[in-house]
Amino acid sequence: MVNDLGRLYTVGYAGLQARQAEIAALTDNMANVNTPAFKQRNLSFQATLSAEEDRQVRRGVELGAAIPDFDQGPVQPTGEMWDLAIDGPGMFRLQLPDGRIGYSRLGTFRLDGQGHLINEQGLFLVPPITIPPNVESVAVDARGVITVTEQGAPRVLGRLQLARFANPEGLVDQGDGIYLPSAASGEPVVGAPAENGLGQIISGALEMSNVDTPQQMVNLLRVQRSYSLTLRALQVSDQMYALTNQLQG
C-alpha cells in the first residue's frame, strides 16, 4: 500500500511539473503575440519508465521538446525600406560571431555606417550586401534583386539568398528569432527568392507572429484545470500516505 501511494505521488508530481512547463510555454506564446516573426512553440512530452521487479513501471511524464511551429504568420506593411518579409518558405542567412550561419524569418534590417545591411543584432546577411554611398534610390523586388539608381541610371547591385529546410521544426532555437540546423532539420537548401520552392520577398513589410491567440487561451484554461486537479490528487495522496503511516505506527 505504501509503495503504491509513493508511486502515485511520484506520478502526480511529474504531471504537475509537466503542466507547469506547459503553462509557461503557453503564456510565453501569448506574450509574444505582437513580436514580429515569432513562432509559437508546442511542447511534446514522453512517458518515463523504471524497472521494478522485472517489469516496467510508469513514473509519469517529462518534457520532451519545445517545437517551434513554422506556419506562415500574417504579413504587415511597415513602410520601412529595409523591413523585409518572406512570403512562403525560406529563412534569411546570418553570419554569427562564432563563424556559424544562423537562420531567421525576422527581416528587420538596417544599414550601418559603412552601408552594410545588418539585422537588429548587428549580424551581416550571407552573402553580404553593401549599399554604396550617395545612391539616389534603392529597390528590392519580389525575387530579392537589389537595384540602386546612381546618376539617374539603375544598376543591379546583388540578390538576396534564402534557405529552406526539409523539417524546419527540427531547428534549434538560439533566441532573438535565430535558429541553427540540427540532424532533425536536415541540411539547408540555399537559393534565390521565388525559385526552387522558396518564398518571395516583400519589401517594406514584416511577417508577424503566428500565435493563434484564441486557441492558446483555450489550451491555457485546459492546462490550468489539469494543474488544479493534479495538485488536488497530490494533496489527497499526501493525506493518505500520512494516515497509512499513522495506522502502521
Task: Give dist(CA 81, CA 229) in Å, integer.
Answer: 52
pLDDT of residue 19: 79
Q: Assign 51 a pLDDT band (cuts: 50, 70, 90).
A: very low
Q: What is the average pLDDT across 11-35?
A: 84
Q: How far apart are CA 142 and CA 187, in angstroms?
A: 25
Residue type (1 letter), 156? V
- Mean pLDDT (the chain) is 86
Q: Is the per-residue pLDDT at 138 higher than 90?
A: yes
**Residue 10 predicted with pLDDT over 70:** no
The pLDDT score that the predictor gives to residue 229 is: 75
Higher pLDDT, 106 or 220: 106
Q: What is the pLDDT of residue 155?
A: 95
Alpha carbons 103 and 85: distance in angstroms, whole number: 14
Q: Mean pLDDT throughout 219-245?
A: 74
**Do residues 104 and 175 lie in contact, with contact meaning Cβ atoms separated by under 8 Å?**
no
Residue 232 pLDDT level (bands cut at 50, 70, 90): confident
Question: Is the CB of residue 110 less than 8 Å from the CB of residue 118?
Answer: yes
| Residue 45: predicted pLDDT | 59
Query: How far is residue 132's CA from residue 135's CA, in Å, rounded to a whole number?
Result: 6
- Full-model pTM: 0.81
Quick one: average pLDDT of 84-104? 97
Q: Stretch 149-160: mean pLDDT, rounded?
A: 94
pLDDT score, position 56: 47
What pLDDT does residue 63 have? 58
Percent of the chain exceeding pLDDT 70 equals 79
Mean per-residue pLDDT for 2-26? 70
Answer for the pair 88, 200: CB distance below 8 angstroms, yes or no.
Answer: yes
Segment 60-85, tens digit of pLDDT:
556 567 789 999 999 999 999 999 99
| CB contact set of 177 (below 8 Å; sequence gap of 6+) | 36, 37, 38, 104, 105, 106
As a three-state string, the secondary structure of the chain is CHHHHHHHHHHHHHHHHHHHHHHHHHHHHHHCCCCCCCCCEEEEEEEEEEEECCEEEEEEEEEEEEEECCCCCCEEECCCCCEEEEECCCEEEEECCCCCEEEECCCECEECCCCEEECCCCCEECCCCECCCCCCEEEECCCCEEEEEECCEEEEEEECCEEECCCHHHCEEEECCEEECCCCCCCCEEECCCCCCCCEEEECEEECCCCCHHHHHHHHHHHHHHHHHHHHHHHHHHHHHHHHHHHHC
Mean pLDDT of 125-146: 95
C-alpha cell at 108: 528587420
Q: What number is the average pLDDT over the span 183-204?
A: 96
Question: CB neighbours of 152 closer than 8 A, spacing ≥ 6?
Answer: 136
Residue-level pLDDT at 223: 80
User: Counting beta carbons within 10 angstroms of the beta carbon of residue 249, is it exposed (0 to 12), middle (13 to 18) or buried (19 or more)?
Assistant: exposed
Please indicate whether residue 22 or residue 116 has the higher confidence score (pLDDT): 116
